[in-house]
Structure formats: C-alpha cells, structure tokens
Amino acid sequence: MEMSEDFDYPESMGEVRVRRLPSGGIAAVLAVLVPGLGHVYAGRLTAGAVWFVATTFAYWAILIPGFLLHALNIWSAYRAAEEAGDRY
C-alpha cells in the first residue's frame, strides 16, 4: 500500500520511540565493573551514587567489608533492574 504525497498524518504519528526494559543480568555485570553503575542503568541515579561512594569508602577503609559491600551492590543492582522491568 502506497501513501500519496498529499496524505497528512498527525504529528504524533511521526516518531515511535521504544524503551528497552533494563535487564538484571546487564545491571549485575555493570555493577561488577563499577559499583553503582548497575543502579544508574536501572534508572536509579541517586542510589548509584550512594553505592559508588559507600563501596569505594569500604574498599579504602578495609578490604574485606569492601568485597561484601560490592557483592551486596551487585545483588541490589540486579533486583533494581528486575523491579524496573516489572513496573511496565
């Protein structure tokens, strides 16, 4: 079906945007690379900044709590992305 050049369609039909839902797996991998980045990916910017500062401080202060906090951050980022996907 061809549309003629004089066909006038509403502006709202001109562009379609598709938002991809965040993936828990991608959020977890990003959180492994940089603490807090998985939360940023899931759309939780403040939580991402807090996780980054807290985990960095924990690594700086004492090594073992840093690993534990980092693991908790990865799990939390996974859950945040899964919950963001469930909202839609």
Tell me how many domains the chain contains. 1
Query: CA-to-CA distance for 71 and 20, rounded, in angstroms?
Result: 26
Identify the three-state secondary structure at position 61: helix
Q: What is the pLDDT of residues 1-60, one digit of tens each?
A: 455 555 555 555 566 565 778 899 999 999 999 999 999 999 999 999 999 999 999 999
Q: How many residues would you count in the chain?
A: 88
Mean pLDDT (whole number) for 64-75:
92
Q: What is the per-residue pLDDT for 85?
A: 74
Asked if residue 57 is part of any domain, the answer here is: yes
Asked if residue 29 is part of any domain, the answer here is: yes
Residue 31: domain span: 22-86
74 burial via Cβ count (<10 Å: 0-12, 13-18, 19+): buried
Asked if residue 14 is part of any domain, the answer here is: no
Q: What is the per-residue pLDDT for 1?
A: 47
Between 81 and 5, the more confident residue is 81
Place of tokens 């828990």: 24
Q: What is the per-residue pLDDT for 75?
A: 96
